[in-house]
């Protein structure tokens, strides 16, 4: 068993790492260790002086070197002498804020715990164990259950918290984080993933300074601006070396990640829902469940850590028949037509795509209601047959007749003021009475906390999915939320709306994905604005970014790859000049970049030359050949496109028998020597034959050691953004 308990010492031993905590003599649950397996208790490192102005718990009497203000704690609270950032804050009936949590009980359960109404990693008794530790406030009947889901073989621990009110009066939770991790020693850096629309998940690495640093979203979604993931690493850690931790929140609403370096140079990491958008009235006898955090540790740098997250997300978060299935190559009409289309124009695109080997035609925005621009029609989920000049059933049937699948775009959470839905139900939109609503993209947001709103959306979408052979749904959300108000909540409980919104969204997605298991759902939010592990529980892939420019996409996909598997990354070839940047890149550069994801096209095929169409057909054949390796192999980042003059990555078969390396060289300089690309993850003594390589003769044989230590020569520079691709097989 991975979980071992002896004399109130809890040790979780996984394949390569160990997590350890202990109940001390005062009943406080202290964190001891997270890192390499040591085979013993790490309590001997708990060495703390008497620090002035760090208070002492009453039980400790005159033991002045015992303070919760500097002890590494497993779950921190406010009002108990710990002045660092708290994971939990509860307002009691008398208005006070204080919790003094002490150990009460524990249990070990087979399999992985689940969370009512929230996404969570899953695993049966052969894959996971659950450790459940109950803490109780010393002075009230409030209990906190710490759940630990242990995936021993994957070096992964999940964390979630349950707060139970055993008092006779209601209490208010105004802060409830899912993860608290105290690191008592070392010099650390942190990496977060910032961005904006069309430029999501850009890697930023900083030294942790004394004080609090934060990555968060107040936008009602996980957002383009910050991602609910974080890395902590030793100074000098690289892709292949160094101790590092990663944490990913399974939540699609506002979140907060905080890192504090305190007076003793210790580091505390917190992650959970954003308290600025959260409060919750917890009535007597009720329980509140926090979202889950996936936590993992690597002793061998970021590459190993990424592999651990890719595996847990693909195999234990994504669900259904599509989670490991090969993705269809699709074409989306958005950048080809925008709102200007009818059924025949869509069918024309589909005919050309079918000839080139595309598997699916996706009809984007504009097929429903009165929707000829982005100022009307949202919420009216009925087919506009006058615009299509045919039924949706007929269009899908004709596309199926070409040997292609058919998919459809929705934006269910939004409503236009110019819509029948809004005219009939203005109270269904989130807006504060007596104030003008905040518009974005000239649309408002539906109150997903309302059962009647969810029922309307469920019936509307259900009817459409039953009306035609629809095998793919793109679920979009094209704005943030700020003016929070629900007519269904009393004045003192409006702070519950942001979380209730997310719970409502998850409930609707659960109903639809359960009823239509054959449909591949893809998440989207103005591109990558809600690219998080919570959405992957319902939608096994997400549109990575609205920016399809090959050069910038390498940077976006680079940051995305630290946590999210390639199979979850929606990535397409689009037209040039690029609609977001105006940049011109070769079709091959766009194709190679898009292959590092769920591959597709977003352009008007009729505007391509014969040679370009042949190139598209060849790209599709390559992707279908390499697709199983791309999605199932181990992914390696071979360069940093934010700093280097090239982007490079590779996919290695699990048995090390095949490897595909791809990428772009960015800017040409005079008198450049050819770059050398060093591969990783190969069997050093094995021989690998080059089956196909850009500007290299096929058939050459190299040892794995040579390819990793010496590398492979990249093509010579003859222009910016030049693509390369090498495919090797073990002899």
8 A C-beta contact, residue 708 and residue 683: no
Rg for the chain, CA atoms, rounded: 27
Helix residue ranges, H only, 149-300: none
**Residue corresponding to tokens 């699916």:** 360
Active-site residue set:
532, 612
Beta bridge partners of 73: 30
- In three-state form (DSSP H/G/I as H, E/B as E, the rest C), the secondary structure along 300-313 is EHHHHHHHHHHHHH
Closest CA to 212 of 51, 75, 88, 86: 86
- In three-state form (DSSP H/G/I as H, E/B as E, the rest C), the secondary structure along 631-661 is HHCEEEECCCCCCCCEEEEEEECCCCCEEEE
Question: How remote is the C-alpha of 665 from its chain's centroid?
Answer: 28
Calpha distance 475→413 (Å, rounded) = 9
Instruction: Give me the phi and psi of 430, to 5 degrees please.
Output: -75, 115
Closest CA to 660 of 590, 721, 716, 707: 707
DSSP, residue by residue, 585-599 = --HHHHHHHHHSSEE
Strand runs labelled E in 310-421: 330-332, 360-363, 405-410, 414-415
Residue 350 corresponds to which tokens in the numbers above? Answer: 């589909």
Start-to-end C-alpha separation, the chain: 39
Beta bridge partners of 722: 665
Q: Is the dihedral of CA 286, 290, 291, 292 positive or negative?
A: negative
* Per-residue exposure over 239-274, b if at least 16 CB sit within 10 Å of its own CB, e if not: beebbbbbbbbbbbbbbbbbbbbbebebbbbbbbbb
* Per-residue exposure over 389-400, b if at least 16 CB sit within 10 Å of its own CB, e if not: ebebeebbebbb
- In three-state form (DSSP H/G/I as H, E/B as E, the rest C), the secondary structure along 520-566 is EEEECECCECCCCHHHHCCCCEEECCCCCCHHHHHHHHHHHCCCCCH
Beta bridge partners of 129: 110, 150
Pairing of β 520-523 and β 541-543: parallel
**Omega cis (within 30) before 577:** yes
Calpha distance 454→445 (Å, rounded) = 13
């Amino acid at each position: 068993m991975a979980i071992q308990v002896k004399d109130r010492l809890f040790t979780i031993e996984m394949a390569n790492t160990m997590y350890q905590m202990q109940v001390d003599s005062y009943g406080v649950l202290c964190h001891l260790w997270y890192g390499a397996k040591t085979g013993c208790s790490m309590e001997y490192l708990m060495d703390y002086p008497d620090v002035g102005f760090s208070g002492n718990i009453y039980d400790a009497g005159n033991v002045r070197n015992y303070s919760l203000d500097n002890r590494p704690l497993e779950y921190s609270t406010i009002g108990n002498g710990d002045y660092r950032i708290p994971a939990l804050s509860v307002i009691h009936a008398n208005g006070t804020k204080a919790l003094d949590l002490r150990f009460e009980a524990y249990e070990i359960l087979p399999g992985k715990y689940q969370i009512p109404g929230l996404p969570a990693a899953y695993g049966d008794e052969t894959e996971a164990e659950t450790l459940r530790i109950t803490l109780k406030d010393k002075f009230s009947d409030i209990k906190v259950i710490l759940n630990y889901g242990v995936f021993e073989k994957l070096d992964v621990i999940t964390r979630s918290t349950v707060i139970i009110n055993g008092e006779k009066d209601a209490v208010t939770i105004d802060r409830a984080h899912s993860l608290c991790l105290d690191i008592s020693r070392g010099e650390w850096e942190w990496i977060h993933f910032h961005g904006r629309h069309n430029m999501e998940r850009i890697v930023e690495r900083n030294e942790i300074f004394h004080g609090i640093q934060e990555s968060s979203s107040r936008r009602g979604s996980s957002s383009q601006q910050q991602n609910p993931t974080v890395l902590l690493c030793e100074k000098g850690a690289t892709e292949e070396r160094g101790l590092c931790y990663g944490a990913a929140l399974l939540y699609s609403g506002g979140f907060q990640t905080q890192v504090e370096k305190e007076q003793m140079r210790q580091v505390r990491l917190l992650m959970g829902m954003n308290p600025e958008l959260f409060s919750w009235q917890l009535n007597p006898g009720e329980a509140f469940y926090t979202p889950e955090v996936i936590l993992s540790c690597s002793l061998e740098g970021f590459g190993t850590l990424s592999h651990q997250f890719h595996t847990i997300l693909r195999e234990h978060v994504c669900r259904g028949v599509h989670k490991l299935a090969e993705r269809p190559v699709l074409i989306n009409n958005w950048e080809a037509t925008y709102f200007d289309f009818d059924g025949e124009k869509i069918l024309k695109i589909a005919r050309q795509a079918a000839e080139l080997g595309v598997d699916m035609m996706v009809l984007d925005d504009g097929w429903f209601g009165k929707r000829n621009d982005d100022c009307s029609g949202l919420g009216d989920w009925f087919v506009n047959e006058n615009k299509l000049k045919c039924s949706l059933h007929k269009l899908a049937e004709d596309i199926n007749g070409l040997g292609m699948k058919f998919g459809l775009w929705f934006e269910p959470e939004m409503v236009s003021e110019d819509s029948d839905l809004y005219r009939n139900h203005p109270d269904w939109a989130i807006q504060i009475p007596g104030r003008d609503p905040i518009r974005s993209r000239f649309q408002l947001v539906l109150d997903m906390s309302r059962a009647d709103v969810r029922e309307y959306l469920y019936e509307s979408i259900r009817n459409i999915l039953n009306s035609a052979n629809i095998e793919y749904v793109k679920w979009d959300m094209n704005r943030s939320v700020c003016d929070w108000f629900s007519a269904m909540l009393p004045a003192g409980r409006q702070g519950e709306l942001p979380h209730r919104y997310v719970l409502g969204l998850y409930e609707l997605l659960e109903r639809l994905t359960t009823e239509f298991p054959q449909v591949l759902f893809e998440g989207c939010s103005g591109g990558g604005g809600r690219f998080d592990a919570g959405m992957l529980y319902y939608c096994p892939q997400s549109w990575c970014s609205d920016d399809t420019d090959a050069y910038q996409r390498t940077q976006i996909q680079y940051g995305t790859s630290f946590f999210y598997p390639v199979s979850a990354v929606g990535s397409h070839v689009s037209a040039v000049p690029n609609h977001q940047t105006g940049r011109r890149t070769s079709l091959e550069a766009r194709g190679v970049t898009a292959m590092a994801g769920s591959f597709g096209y977003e352009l008007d095929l009729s505007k391509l030359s014969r040679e370009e169409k042949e190139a598209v057909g060849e790209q599709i054949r390559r992707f279908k050949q390499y697709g199983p390796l791309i999605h199932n192999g181990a992914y390696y980042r071979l360069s940093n496109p934010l700093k280097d003059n090239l982007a490079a990555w590779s996919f290695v078969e699990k048995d090390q028998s095949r490897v595909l390396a791809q990428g772009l060289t960015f800017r040409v300089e005079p008198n450049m020597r050819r770059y050398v690309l060093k591969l990783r993850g190969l069997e050093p003594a094995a021989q690998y034959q080059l089956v196909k390589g850009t500007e290299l003769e096929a058939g050459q044989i190299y040892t794995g050691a040579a390819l990793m230590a010496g590398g492979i020569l990249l093509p010579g520079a003859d222009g910016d953004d030049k693509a390369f691709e090498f495919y090797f097989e073990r002899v």
